[in-house]
Chains A and B, each alone.
Chain A
Amino acid sequence: MSLAFEVKNLAKHYGNVKALDGVTLEAKEGSIFGLLGPNGAGKTTLVRALSTLLEPDKGSAKVLGIDVIKNPQRVREVIGLAGQFAAVDEYLTGEENLYMVGRLYHLSAKETKQRTKELLERLNLADAAKRQVRTYSGGMRRRLDLGACLVGRPKILFLDEPTTGLDPRTRLDLWEIIRDLVSQGTSILLTTQYLEEADVLADKIAVIDRGKVIAEGTSAKLKAMLGGDVIEIQLESERDRQKAEQAIKGIAKKASSYDEATKTLTIPVGSDGSKSLAEVVRSLDRAKVPIHALALHQPSLDDVFLTLTGAKASEVATDAKPKRKRAA
């Protein structure tokens, strides 16, 4: 199995800010790797290290087996980068921007022209192709930026918050494009603030905070860390409580709990929520317990994120360091 990228013990410090504090991660080729983390966690720093824009203080990084530090120019031949802020020339047209980048990837003039046209259509920018970028909306700019990183048909893409600021329609379009690329064998590293996005797209997710990996795995695994699915039953009447508890005893994976104010019984059922839901309904029916309301809760990645980074969130909020607009 070959790896899309591989970082070992990667560290990068800015003064006493540990942007990366010993990060070790790897991703399979042809997969989507989602990087999650609160603001200032080090996501962009990691992307910049992998795309040869900054040299780490410690540790090693390889992209498709090529050492980023020893052989940056070879790495640049196989990567495409869409940074957190669109990096396109405001005074050039969309078409001119893509053409320039294509030539700089050393495609022939003819191929660049064709690729430019193809991408502008694919990204829904054909109508705006001949307009200067400064007349583009934020989302159009973002799409053009993505186009620029696709011109050279890179084998691996680094997308730093590619869907931030996009409308829902455009975001779905972008997901489609990303999935398409992966089906053609492209590997993708994607950072995002939208947990749903990582949930839907990523084959594997890492959560980082303060330069450290605090959790890693598939989205199912991360959710399981929170104890899995939960069924909530709101009873008609307080009197049925004991009967109900008796009835679901065999289904609950852990001790159930009861909230008197809402007359709600909460039952942890592990990973197979939907199946357990049916069983719960049947048993309660058999026991003749009238039900007011019934709900199945599956922990979202939001829950995972908040739980994992929650303890620190309050501290982070107070140390509002001025953040540089862009590292260079």
Chain B
Amino acid sequence: MPSLKESEPPEMTLTKKLSYEFSDTWAVAKRNLLRYTRLPQLVFFSAIQPIIFLTLFNFVFGGALGKSGAALHGKYINYLLPGIMVQVTLFGGLQTGIGLARDINSGILDRFRSLPMSRAAVLAGRTFADTLRNVVVIAIMLAYGSILGFRFTNGFFPAVGMVLILLLFGYAFSWFSAFIGMAVKDEETAQLAGFVLVFPLVFASAAFVPVQSMATWLQHFANNQPITFAANGARELALGIPSHGAVWKLLAWVVGLLVVFVPLSIWRYKKSV
């Protein structure tokens, strides 16, 4: 049997290479999506979680904030839903890192790393699958929100735009989360690291309450962080509340996160111990 020499590499054409990138990514995404269908409990709780959040916040904060109607531009549920959707899509993004940490420990990441597949596919497939999961979660939230009285008031296309920027933000966050998950290499740590980061950011933002109601020093922070941009951007698109360019600032963050964490995560994946 002739042995392969380094001098005869089957140079792949660019189109072939690209088609492998896609088919590898799809194979991995399919695996992650299949897992979701095999874990009915997980699906159940990811659906129930946003419903509980929305119910609690609506009736707990809604009562207190109901009187300051001016700051909220109308019904609290209209104000709240876009904000909660930001939080929920970020939690969806956190799953990426948690899942990757699990894959490291189960050894399946080693299997992938020993295969002649694309070096980006494991991460691209996972982030894609987690984004599709976010689509489902957003649909559930919109349906339940409408029962609680939420209405889009800014037309159809901006409403679609709202869903898109939320998904994009969640997607970019997935790549960040992937990096964390591979760095800590432990499911529980990844989960904790995510929550420790996301919770304060969400609360110190315009996600649930108007920034004007916060202490002055906190307002400075809250006004300039991506979760506020996401919440206000989503409100502008859903309800037509002017947001001083929050949509664009959010998109800048999305691009920034992707530019930094796509290469960083792929590097981390390739790097061996």
- Residues of chain A touching chain B, judged by Cβ–Cβ distance below 8 Å, are 2-3, 29-30, 48, 51-55, 64-67, 71, 73-74, 76-79, 81, 83, 85-92, 96, 100-101, 103-106, 132, 148, 152, 155, 185, 325-328
What are the residues of chain A within 8 A of B121 when measuring CB–CB?
A: 104
Within 8 A of A (CB), among B63-111: 104-111
Q: Assess whether B6 is in contact with A67, with CB atoms less than 8 Å apart.
A: yes
B30 part of interface (Cβ distance < 8 Å): yes
> Once A and B bind, how many residue pairs between them come within 8 Å at the CB atom?
113
Contacts of A53 in B (CB 8 A): 110, 113-114, 272
- Is A54 within 8 A of B6, CB to CB? no
Please name 13 further chain A to chain B contacts, defined as beta carbons within 8 Å, in addition to the given A71-B6, A91-B35, A100-B31, sorted by A numbering: A52-B113, A53-B110, A66-B6, A79-B114, A87-B107, A87-B111, A92-B34, A92-B35, A96-B31, A96-B34, A105-B115, A106-B23, A106-B117
Across the interface, A55 reaches (CB within 8 A) one of B4, B39, B108, B272, namely: B272
Known contacts A96-B34, A132-B38, A327-B273; is A89 also within 8 Å of B108 by CB?
yes
CB-CB under 8 A from A66, the residues of chain B are 4, 6
**Nearest chain B CB to A136's CB is how many angstroms away?**
14
Please tell me if the beta carbons of B5 and A65 are within 8 angstroms of each other in the complex: yes
**Interfacial chain A residues near B273, Cβ < 8 Å:** 54, 327-328
Cβ–Cβ contact A100 & B3, under 8 A: no
Judging by beta carbons under 8 Å apart, are B106 and A87 in contact? yes
Count, chain B residues at interface, CB 8 A: 36
Interface of chain B, main secondary structure: helix
CB contact list, B2-20 vs A, under 8 A: 2-6, 9, 20
Given contacts A54-B273, A81-B111, contact A103 B27 (CB under 8 A): yes
From A67, A78, A88, contact of B108 by CB (8 A): A88
Q: Is B236 an interface residue (CB 8 A)?
A: no
B185 within 8 A of A: yes
Complex: chain A residue closest to B20, CB-CB: A106
- List, in ascending order, chain B residues with CB within 8 A of A2's CB: 1-3
Q: Which residues of A contact B115 (CB under 8 A)?
A: 76, 101, 104-105, 152
If A53-B114, A89-B35, A148-B111 touch, does A29 touch B6 (CB 8 Å cutoff)? no
- Residues from chain A with a CB closer than 8 A to the CB of B108 are 87-89
* Chain B residues in the interface with A (C-beta under 8 A): 1-6, 9, 20, 23-24, 27-28, 30-31, 34-35, 38-39, 104-117, 121, 185, 272-273
Nearest-CB residue, chain A, relative to B36: A91
Q: Separation in Å of the A185 CB from the closest CB of chain B?
A: 5
CA distance A106 to B17 in the complex (A): 11
Q: Does A74 lie within 8 Å of B110, measured CB to CB?
A: no
Contact A65 B4 (CB under 8 A): yes
On whether the beta carbons of B24 and A328 are closer than 8 Å, the reply is no
| Chain B residues, CB < 8 A from A132 | 38
Are B110 and A73 in contact (CB-based, < 8 A)?
no
Central interface residue in B110, B115, B185, B272, by most chain A CB within 10 Å: B115
Q: Which of B116, B117, B121 has the most CB of A within 10 A?
A: B116
Residues of chain A within 8 A (CB-CB) of B24 are 103-104
Select from chain A the residue with minimum beta-carbon distance to B270: A72
From residue B97, how far is it (CB to closest CB) to chain A in Å? 14
Listed by A's residue number, 6 A-B pairs whose Cβ atoms lie within 8 Å are: A74-B4, A74-B6, A81-B110, A104-B27, A326-B105, A327-B273
Q: CA A64 – CA B5 in complex, angstroms?
A: 8
Closest A residue to B122 by beta carbon equals A104
Residues of A within 8 A of B35 (CB): 89, 91-92
CA distance A101 to B6 in the complex (A): 25
User: In the complex, A140 Cα to B27 Cα: how many Å?
Assistant: 23
Q: A64 vs B9: C-alpha distance in the bound complex, in angstroms?
A: 13
Residue numbers in B under 8 Å from A79 (CB-CB) = 114
Whether the Cβ atoms of A89 and B116 lie closer than 8 Å is no
Of all chain A residues, the one with the shortest Cβ separation from B26 is A103
Given A91-B35, A103-B27, A104-B27, A85–B117 Cβ distance below 8 Å? Answer: no
CB A181 to nearest CB in B, in angstroms, measures: 13
Q: By the criterion CB–CB under 8 Å, are A328 and B185 in contact?
A: yes
Which residue from A54, A77, A96 sits with its C-beta under 8 Å from B116? Answer: A77
Q: Is the CB of A30 within 8 A of B1?
A: yes
Given A100-B30, A132-B38, A325-B105, CB of A29 within 8 Å of CB of B116: no
Q: How far is the CA of A55 from the CA of B273 in the complex (A)?
A: 7
Closest 3 A-B residue pairs measured CB to CB?
A2-B3, A87-B107, A87-B111
How many Å lie between the Cα of A327 and that of B113 in the bound state? 13
The winner among A67, A89, A105, A132 for most chain B CB atoms within 10 A is A89
Q: Are B1 and A29 in contact, CB atoms less than 8 angstroms apart? A: yes
Contacts of B107 in A (CB 8 A): 83, 85-87, 326
Within the complex, the shortest CB–CB distance from A55 to chain B, in Å, comes to: 5
Q: Is the CB of B6 within 8 A of A65?
A: yes
Task: Return chain B residues, CB-CB under 8 Å to A148.
Answer: 111
Return chain B residues, CB-CB under 8 Å to A327: 273
Interface contact A78-B4, CB-CB below 8 Å: yes
Given contacts A91-B34, A91-B35, A106-B20, A76 and B6 within 8 Å (CB-CB): no
